[in-house]
């Protein structure tokens, strides 16, 4: 019997859930899960190491590697073959701090940092 999958912790659900080529009608769809999206965001955009990503998402580093490989393959397929990318919820839970962050909904806030789910304002006050 397989082990049950651990719930992955993400900072926020993606604001944009669908990306499609403008020159292809009725493009086939590639589904990216929210946890694959979060791994891409943290590793490729925020430049966290796989170990840091694993710690933040509360999963094993080997799971991060697997999610990264899967997400990269899906993105490459979509870009090369002109397929639509749809981001769907996965086995994820949004952390409470990230869910309350204005940046998660497209707002601007100098006090909260979405990628680290911590308040820069509080950190500055401690100095």
> Which stretch of DSSP H or E encloses residue 72?
helix 61-81
Q: What residue spans define the domains of the chain?
A: 8-100
Flag whether pLDDT at 13 surpasses 90: no
Flag whether pLDDT at 104 surpasses 90: no
Residue 107 vs residue 49, higher pLDDT: 49
**Within its chain, how far is the Cα of 88 from the centroid?**
11
Percent of the chain with pLDDT over 90: 39
Tens of pLDDT, residues 47-74: 889 998 888 888 899 999 999 999 999 9
**What's the pLDDT at 78?**
95
Q: Is the pTM of the predicted complex or chain greater than 0.75?
A: no
Q: Which CATH number fits domain 8-100: 1.10.1060, 1.10.1450, 1.10.3470, 1.10.10?
A: 1.10.10
**What's the pLDDT at 6?**
74
Q: What's the rounded Cα separation, in Å, for the pair 38 and 43?
A: 8
**What's the pLDDT at 127?**
47
Q: What's the rounded Cα separation, in Å, for the pair 87 and 37?
A: 8
**CA-wise closest residue to 116 among 37, 65, 46, 62:** 46
Residue 54 vs residue 13, higher pLDDT: 54
Alpha carbon distance, N-terminus to C-terminus of the chain? 51
**What's the pLDDT at 89?**
86
Residues 23, 79 contacting (CB under 8 angstroms): no
């Amino acid at each position: 019997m397989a082990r049950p999958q651990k719930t992955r912790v993400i900072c926020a659900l993606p604001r944009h859930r669908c990306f499609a080529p403008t020159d292809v009608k009725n493009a086939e769809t590639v589904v990216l899960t929210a946890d694959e999206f979060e791994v891409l965001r943290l590793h490729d955009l925020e430049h966290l190491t796989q170990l840091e990503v694993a710690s933040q998402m509360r999963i094993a580093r080997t799971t991060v590697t697997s999610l990264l490989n899967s997400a990269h393959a899906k993105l490459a397929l979509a870009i090369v073959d002109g397929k639509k990318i749809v981001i769907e919820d996965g086995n994820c839970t949004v952390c409470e701090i990230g869910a309350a962050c204005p940046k998660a909904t497209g707002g601007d806030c100098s006090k909260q940092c979405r990628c680290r789910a911590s308040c820069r304002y509080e950190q500055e006050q401690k100095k």
